[in-house]
Amino acid sequence: MKLKLLTIVFFIVTRMLYAQSSENTNTYQKIVKQTDEIYDNLVKIRRDLHMNPEISKQEKRTSKIITEYLRNLGLEVKTNVGGYGVVGILKGDKKGKKIAWRADMDAIKTDEPDPVTFIKSKNEGIRHICGHDVHTTIGLGIATILSQQKKDLGGTVYFIFQPAEETFTGAKDMIKDGLFNIIKPDEIYGLHIVPEASGMINFKANELFAYQRTLEVKFMPSANENELENFMNSVLKGYVRNPLKGSPWDIINNISDPKIGITSKETVYKDYFFLDGTKLYKDQDTIFFNASFFETNIKNTHSIPLDIKKQILNSRFKDSFISIGYSRAYEAPINDPELTKIAAQTIYSFYNEKMFKPLYGQVPYFGEDFIFYQQKVPGVFFFLGGSNTEKGVNSMPHSPNFAVDEKTIKYGVQCFASLIFERTNNQ
Ligand SMILES: [Zn+2]
């Protein structure tokens, strides 16, 4: 009897899961088709943005294009939020959750030649080498596709087009300017282009990156500089937990290694501290000792300055010591574990599972101000591969030859329009 009951329960649950998954697949297939129809136009938009890149806090033209596009879709649009930030609000005809999607839009100063000759930047010395033109285009694509589902869409979708990500100020400025008075999302999502194959999507719960810090220690000029530098370097060496031998750049080179890289459960990038350079300099009244490092454990970032201070006060430099603190601190995006699990299950129900993979460990060298939204609203930040080795396209952000296979736009819109649709309709 018990077994029979269990069998019935099992049968019902399996049917429910199957129904859910086939429903998701149907919506996804519809969205795939609709994305194909707008793809050529999205490529045009992306090329226009690529030809007219604007640096942080100067995204005037980009924000105007976004505003006009969203208004043409029939969205309610708020402009000049925290600088050139734009917020689009799409209300579905049914009741449901409120989901935010964030895309950044700024470019970077660089004189390196663009490998993509047919869409060179018109603004000399500025180029989209971090893929934010692609992020913006994917955001507009998702807005288009979800506008087409308005009748079936439960809840509200907020589109946040953020300026000044590169300076790590845009998210903070939008929030300070009342972003969360304008919108009240239950969940927030976003993505960044990475050098994986075009269409590959990676996800991970908790911290995505290592914490990046610059420590600044001040001493009085009475201290002997050489001795002080040797002392401080030896103190800092005591904290090093380096996953690999070699310089920091040797370390990043192994990040995609199938055995020890971040796609492997056995990754070595999960518990480390490594120094990214130290510097000693002085002005009239002060000797400054700066040390930049990456640390995976947030608790250590709190204890390290206190601990170093103790060591200095126990040393012969105690009388020249003035102060210690961080002069620069970049927080890591932290993906809500429960939401990551739910979002992953949803994406697995429709996306090619070979192209949707978990990551392990924490990536050094990357920063992302998406964390400032996540401090207010649970959210998940994804990586979307943009490379195509056959075409010689390499999507390593900020590298001189950075480029994106434009098909990536299609994958991004298809996957994340579907995810947002499912999330708004999920009570
Ligand atoms: Zn970026």
Expressed in angstroms and rounded, the spacing between residue 317 Cα and the centre of ligand 1 is 41
Q: Would you place residue 12 in the very low, low, confident or very high pLDDT band (cuts 50, 70, 90)?
A: low
**Environment class of 395 (CB within 10 Å of its CB; exposed 0-12, middle 13-18, buried 19+):** buried
pLDDT at residue 16 in the model: 52
Residue whose structure tokens are 């033209």: 61
Expressed in angstroms and rounded, the spacing between residue 340 Cα and the centre of ligand 1 is 21
pLDDT at residue 116 in the model: 78
Q: Would you place residue 249 in the very low, low, confident or very high pLDDT band (cuts 50, 70, 90)?
A: low
Expressed in angstroms and rounded, the spacing between residue 194 Cα and the centre of ligand 1 is 9
Expressed in angstroms and rounded, the spacing between residue 371 Cα and the centre of ligand 1 is 13
pLDDT at 215 over 90: yes
pLDDT at residue 133 in the model: 97
Calculate mean pLDDT across residues 192-205.
96
pLDDT at residue 321 in the model: 97
% of residues, the chain, pLDDT over 90:
80
Q: If we measure between CA atoms, which residue out of 322, 235, 327, 234 comes closest to residue 286? A: 322
Expressed in angstroms and rounded, the spacing between residue 382 Cα and the centre of ligand 1 is 12
Contact 198, 90 (CB under 8 A): no
Expressed in angstroms and rounded, the spacing between residue 92 Cα and the centre of ligand 1 is 30
Residue whose structure tokens are 């990500």: 165
Expressed in angstroms and rounded, the spacing between residue 364 Cα and the centre of ligand 1 is 14
**Environment class of 122 (CB within 10 Å of its CB; exposed 0-12, middle 13-18, buried 19+):** exposed
Calculate mean pLDDT across residues 274-284.
93
pLDDT at 246 over 70: no
DSSP per position, 69-137: HHHHTT-EEEEEETTTEEEEEEE-SEEEEEEEEEEE--BEE--SPPS-GGG--SSTTEE--SSHHHHHH
Q: Which residues surround ligand 1, an ion (CB under 5 A)?
A: 130
% of residues, the chain, pLDDT over 70:
92
Calculate mean pLDDT across residues 181-192.
98
Expressed in angstroms and rounded, the spacing between residue 35 Cα and the centre of ligand 1 is 24
pLDDT (tens digit, 9 = 90+) per residue, 384-414? 999 999 999 999 899 899 999 999 999 999 9
Residue whose structure tokens are 């924000």: 63
Domain boundaries, the chain: 2-207+332-424, 211-330
DSSP per position, 200-241: -EEE-SEE-B-EEEEEEEEE-TTS-HHHHHHHHHHHHHTT-B
Expressed in angstroms and rounded, the spacing between residue 193 Cα and the centre of ligand 1 is 8
Contact 317, 223 (CB under 8 A): yes
Q: 3-state SS string over 131-177?
A: CHHHHHHHHHHHHHHHHHCCCCCEEEEEEEEECCCCCCCHHHHHHHC
Domains 2-207+332-424 and 211-330 share a fold: no
Assess if CATH 3.40.630.10 describes domain 2-207+332-424.
yes
pLDDT (tens digit, 9 = 90+) per residue, 139-170? 999 999 999 999 999 999 999 999 999 999 99
Expressed in angstroms and rounded, the spacing between residue 286 Cα and the centre of ligand 1 is 36
pLDDT (tens digit, 9 = 90+) per residue, 311-346? 999 999 999 999 999 999 998 999 999 999 999 999
Expressed in angstroms and rounded, the spacing between residue 396 Cα and the centre of ligand 1 is 10
pLDDT at residue 3 in the model: 47
Contact 300, 182 (CB under 8 A): no
Assess if CATH 3.30.70.260 describes domain 211-330.
yes
Expressed in angstroms and rounded, the spacing between residue 65 Cα and the centre of ligand 1 is 20
- Angle among Cα 418, 420, 423 to the nearest 5 degrees reads 110
Q: Would you place residue 122 in the very low, low, confident or very high pLDDT band (cuts 50, 70, 90)?
A: confident
Expressed in angstroms and rounded, the spacing between residue 23 Cα and the centre of ligand 1 is 34
pLDDT at 57 over 50: yes
pLDDT at residue 2 in the model: 47
- Calpha distance 94→425 (Å, rounded): 8
Least confident of 116-130, 231-245, 282-296, 364-378: 116-130
**Helix or strand holding residue 328 (H, E):** strand 321-330
> 3-class SS at 18?
helix
pLDDT (tens digit, 9 = 90+) per residue, 20-49? 667 777 999 999 999 999 999 999 999 999
pLDDT at residue 112 in the model: 87
- Calpha distance 283→137 (Å, rounded): 48
Helix axes 132-148, 2-51, angle to 10 degrees: 120
Expressed in angstroms and rounded, the spacing between residue 15 Cα and the centre of ligand 1 is 42
Mean pLDDT of the chain: 92
Expressed in angstroms and rounded, the spacing between residue 130 Cα and the centre of ligand 1 is 4
Give me 420's structure tokens. 């947002």
Expressed in angstroms and rounded, the spacing between residue 278 Cα and the centre of ligand 1 is 26
